[in-house]
Amino acid sequence: MKLFFLVSVFPLLVLSPNPIKNKELLKRFYDEVYVQWNMKTADELLSPDFLSHDWENDYKGAKGFRKYYAAFKNALPDAKYIIKDILADRDKVVVRWEMHATYTNSFPGINIPPTGQQITLKGIAIYRIENNLLAERWVVSDLYELINNLNNQH
């Protein structure tokens, strides 16, 4: 009976997603990528097929991630993300974040001329982890508040 238990349950324990490990992965990602802007960490931690569901389809994997954030860093060169909350369950990690930056160059999709405005963007991202890599992401952010603040500062 004990052998049956070990043979049937042990694989589930070994193969089950580890929420604590997944949270640590996201903390490292946010620190090294969204604070230090070390894109080698993005290359290491993003799956080859990484997909952010809030981007166009041609932004996949680390190459697409780098392409998107090159335009982002051009517009917001001093951008820094702060994790406000982080929760994990099975293969998903939810991060509530704030991003602070100076809007110095135009950003695709925002038709407000940059004048060096200080901005704050708040959002929530849900990540799916697969094989210890970031495989997918869903992001909801308060662009309305951001654009409203930019318009009022302009």
Q: Do residues 92 and 74 lie in contact, with contact meaning Cβ atoms separated by under 8 Å?
A: no
CA distance 128 to 8: 26
In the chain the domains, ranked by start, together with CATH numbers, are 17-153 (3.10.450.50)
pLDDT at residue 11 tops 60: no
- pTM to 2 decimals? 0.85
Beta bridge partners of 85: 96
From 79, 66, 139, 148, select the one nearest 110 (Cα to Cα): 148
Residue pLDDT, tens place only, 54-110? 887 778 999 999 999 999 999 999 999 999 999 999 999 999 999 999 999 988 878
> Confidence class of residue 2 from pLDDT cuts 50, 70 and 90?
low
The alpha-helical segments, DSSP class H, found in the chain are 2-15, 19-34, 39-45, 61-75, 143-153
